[in-house]
Amino acid sequence: MSIQVNGISTAYLGILLLSKLRETGLSTGRPAHLEVVASCAQGDVNMKNVRDASSILQKINDPKNFGVESQYCIFKLLSMWVTTHIAAKVCVEQVIVGASCPARTAEEGSRTLVSGTLLGSDAHGGFWTHDTIAMPGVLVISDEGRNLSMQCWKEILDVLRSQNSEIDVILNG
């Protein structure tokens, strides 16, 4: 269940919003923003917790692999992967896609999320934390991490396509 709530639904909602965000960006002449809630914890994932030759989603959804802290970190890594893949599908002049780490009190965290939506094109596909665009974790930027990300993104899209035949049309604008 947590993979649906914390992983797949983030991708699905982000994709479903793209049409309206693109339209808004075109009509206003300024890019709209899609801001995904992430965490610095995405950098704390051990590769063995996500690497699987057959299915990353099945591996992280398997109850025998569950650990509260590791699952939290894994789902924040998925948020970063989703952010980078959606960002790669949109024109930055229409939609800026970014991820933010609010990791503070609710009041401070809300300001972090809002400030992330005020950033320019340099934040596209990036990670906003502590009032700076920061380097994401190794599993986002390394070659092996990008390969895992591609595998996971394909799995997420396969799930979404099974529920909505318009996913590719929406993604490709």
Of 20, 48, 64, 76, the catalytic one is 76
Both tokens assigned to 35: 């801001």
Q: Is 37 helix (H, G, I), strand (E, B) or coil?
A: strand
DSSP one-letter code for 31: -
Backbone angles phi, psi at 97, to 5 degrees: -110, 125
From the list 48, 59, 72, 154, the catalytic residue is 72
Q: Establish whether 72 is a catalytic residue.
A: yes
Identify whether the C-beta of residue 81 lies closer than 8 Å to the C-beta of residue 87.
no
Report d(CA 120, CA 7) in Å as an integer.
Answer: 26
Q: SS3 string of 61-113?
A: HCHHHCCHHHHHHHHHHHHHHHHHHHHHHCCCCCEEEEEEECCCCHHHHHHHH
- Catalytic status, residue 12: no
What residues are annotated to the active site?
72, 76
